[in-house]
Structure 1
Amino acid sequence: MFQRIIDGISASTGTTVRLTSLAAGAAFALLVTTGFLCAAVFIWVLQKYGPVQACLAGAGIFFLLTLAAAGSYWSYKREVQKRAQIAAERAAKSAAQSMLADPMLLATGLQIVRA
């Protein structure tokens, strides 16, 4: 019985390691590809317009990418905060409803009203 559990864990761990290494390889290939594309664009702009314009074009492209990444981060952060706020409101409502549904609390409240 324990051997089956260990075999299942071992198989899932092996699959996870393979998928992680595949994803790391793909990320590295994407990084190299992006580097070569940036170099090609830089050289093209350098030949056509000059070194200053090529540097400014590269900086502009990376600045736009940075703005896009920052915008997506801020929107994701806002979404997570909204979800947390909604979850907190639901938990507060649930706690209030469970207190009102508690028979001991109701009995104590009735005794206070009678007194």
Structure 2
Amino acid sequence: MKIKITKPGIYGAEGEIPVGTTMSVKDAPKGWAGRYEEVSLTETFTAPAVIDDARAELLAAAAMEIAADAFNAEGVPDVRALNAELTEDAPKFTAAERDALWPGVAAEVTLARG
């Protein structure tokens, strides 16, 4: 089952999970009732028409610094790990923004990480 966090107050091992984060879970999380919604497996994200080059560069830089185990099986970096690399004044990445920007920097990051 795939869910999307819709309200704050959901915590994982690395702190609060940002609203808008989607994740796969085995069963419906009972303690999270009212703070998530089930996402259709056919639902898709439409990337914005304009890609912010500065944000893409920041994403790539953060992805080069995180641990190898912070990438999922498809090679996409965990949003919480990326955000942990940002300065306090930098806006945090959302899963949607990461998903929109990642295809443009994935090859560069993969090559640089070896």
Q: What TM-score do the two structures reach when normalised by structure 2? A: 0.18
Q: Where is the strand percentage greater, Structure 1 or Structure 2?
A: 2
Greater gyration radius: 1
